[in-house]
Structure 1
Amino acid sequence: MNPLVAPEAGARTQRTALSVNVNKIALLRNTRHLGIPDVVKLSRIALEAGAQGITVHPRPDARHIRAQDVHDLAALLKAWPEAEFNIEGNPFHNLMDFVRALKPHQVTFVPDSEGQFTSDHGWSFPADLARLRPLVAEAQALGVRVSLFMDPLPEAMAAARSTGAERVELYTETYASAHGTPEQAGVLARFTAAADAALAAGLQLNAGHDLNRANLADFLRAVPGVLEVSIGHALIADALELGLAQTVRDYQRCIQRAFAPAR
């Protein structure tokens, strides 16, 4: 059973699923007018290689994923019922139009500004609580699971749950920056505490941002209950060296190592 599309799957024994963020493929394509690389074709290759989902983050300026890509990928995912389509973005910008039209498996609410370089912080509570609640409810009424992009703050998890959201995606940039340094253990402990608090509040867990082949297994070994990781930049960069199919298989091996019994 795919933990991406099975909301009841949350035990530690359930292996984390890999969702490939294809924004950077679109960014490369957009530098010319030739239609290559083909976002849909490469997404299919990722799925064939074992990815359990595809993630996109269509920004209002369409600097990478464009509206047509989102619709084309939704059509592709209809042929992959065991895989998930996750659309990320700010629900106060252009995101809800895609949710209403396409009803993806999951929507990840991210509090980024229109011109932001990349997502770099999570929602703030109680400041964002009242305005998020009706949009969470609207998405859920359409049959769409809602995840909130969150910093690893244990004290914020109960408030995140009070929006009605089913999941949070832990923003992992601080962990990635600390990996391999003396600060790694302390930073990772904060993520573990945030995950414990989220699970105690009744939330399920996703994670993403700057995870890569070097740091992924360590993160998953330490942080309980992560159902999904969404990885884009590092995975697409690795694919330039290894090929996309081989890269997806390598990331799956990283996940497998995290769940292997201790020796």
Structure 2
Amino acid sequence: MPPRITDSHCHLDFPGLVEEVDGVVARARAAGVHRMVTICTRLRNLDTVKDLAARHDGVFYAAGTHPMSAAEEPMASVEELIALAEDPLCVGLGETGLDYHYTADSADVQQESLRRHIEAAQETGLPLIIHARDADADMASLLSEGHARKPFTCVMHCFSSGEGLARAALDLGFYLSMSGIAAFPKSGELRAIFAAAPLDRILVETDSPYLAPPPHRGKRNEPAYVVHTAQVAAELYGLSYEDFASATEANFECLFPRAAA
């Protein structure tokens, strides 16, 4: 059997995966991917995501309002977000964050949504799952300010931002998650950021159905393909695949203790 590893961030309810989710989960398990966290990005879809987790062993979920949807969705209250933590299959809050690449016009709404997610993470103890794009300065500021008020745990999902935001996140004790982007041939600068980070702060993910790593780049991604990103990461850290998988398993269980239990 291949070494066990976890896809810390995927979207099993998205088109391209949900239609054949049983096969997707089966292929993941055959590749050694024994756990997946499927992310609900719009709370209106929460029932579908909860059902997917309930029907498949080893599938957990996180829920929140994606920053690119923050202006389109009803603003979730802190109380609504806290209530999510009552379900033992809910292991995190988000993804939330800031995206100024496509939706800079809703920056104020995104920031308020992020503040509410931070407060909910502080109150529940569930880790926060952060999406950041072209918003490094504001992201570092909001995360640092929130953490100074009351500590919380966090992963910078699909990290592809600059060295400054990576250092700010690591200094707060947060984790960086490596997606297929880090395996792209032209992502040398991003790989250097990961290589400079402590191994005990690294997770791996697919963000499927997006961002498939080589040799599947340009095709629909799925959780089984996280092994390709992990193989690149293992080489980056000078480890065998088995040792890197073991390290990220320990990291995942530290950040997501509910999934570990």
| Residue 150 of structure 2 is aligned to residue 161 of structure 1 | no
Q: Does 1:234 align with 2:211?
A: yes
Q: Which amino acid is the alignment partner of residue 45 of structure 1?
A: R
Between Structure 1 and Structure 2, the one with more helix by share is 2
Separation in 2, partners of 1:247, 1:129:
30
3-state SS of 1:234 partner: coil
Partner residue, 1:89: 64
Residue 181 of structure 2 corresponds to 211
Listed as ranges, the gaps of 5+ residues in structure 1 are 1-15, 31-35, 176-190
What are the Cα deviations for residues 102-148 of structure 1, in whole angstroms up to 9, with x where unaligned? 443333341589xx99xx989977x66864454123432xxx33344
Aligned to 1:13: none
What is the letter of the counterpart of residue 27 of structure 1? Answer: P
Q: Indicate the SS of the match to 2:62.
A: strand
- Unaligned 5+ segments in structure 2 are 67-74, 240-261
Counterpart pick for 2:11 among 19, 22, 33: 22
Asked if the contact 1:122/1:171 (under 8 Å) is kept, the reply is: no
The structure 2 residue matched to 1:193, chosen from 158, 164, 178, is: 164
Structure 1 distance, partners of 2:157, 2:222, is 25
When structure 1 is superposed on structure 2, of 89-98 and 224-233 the one drifting more is 89-98
CA distance in 1, matches of 2:108, 2:163: 17
Residue type of the alignment partner of 2:15: L
Greater CA drift, 163-172 or 252-261: 163-172
1:152–1:171 CA contact under 8 A, matched in 2: no
Following superposition, the deviation at residue 72 of structure 1 comes to 2.8
Distance 1:96 1:68 in 2: 19
Query: Deviation string for 1:194-229 (max 9, x for gaps)?
Result: 22222223x212346772531667524323144224
Is the 2:158–2:179 Cα contact (8 Å) retained in structure 1? Answer: yes
TM-score by structure 1 length? 0.56
Q: 1:27 Cα deviation (Å)?
A: 0.9
Distance change (3 Å), C-alpha of 1:72 and 1:241: closer
Over the matched positions of the two proteins, sequence identity in percent amounts to 10
Aligned positions of 1:106-145 closer than 5 A: 106-111=92-97, 131-132=116-117, 134-140=119-125, 144-145=126-127
Correspondent of 2:53 among 50, 54, 73: 73
Matched residue type, 2:166:
A
| TM-score with structure 2 setting the length | 0.57
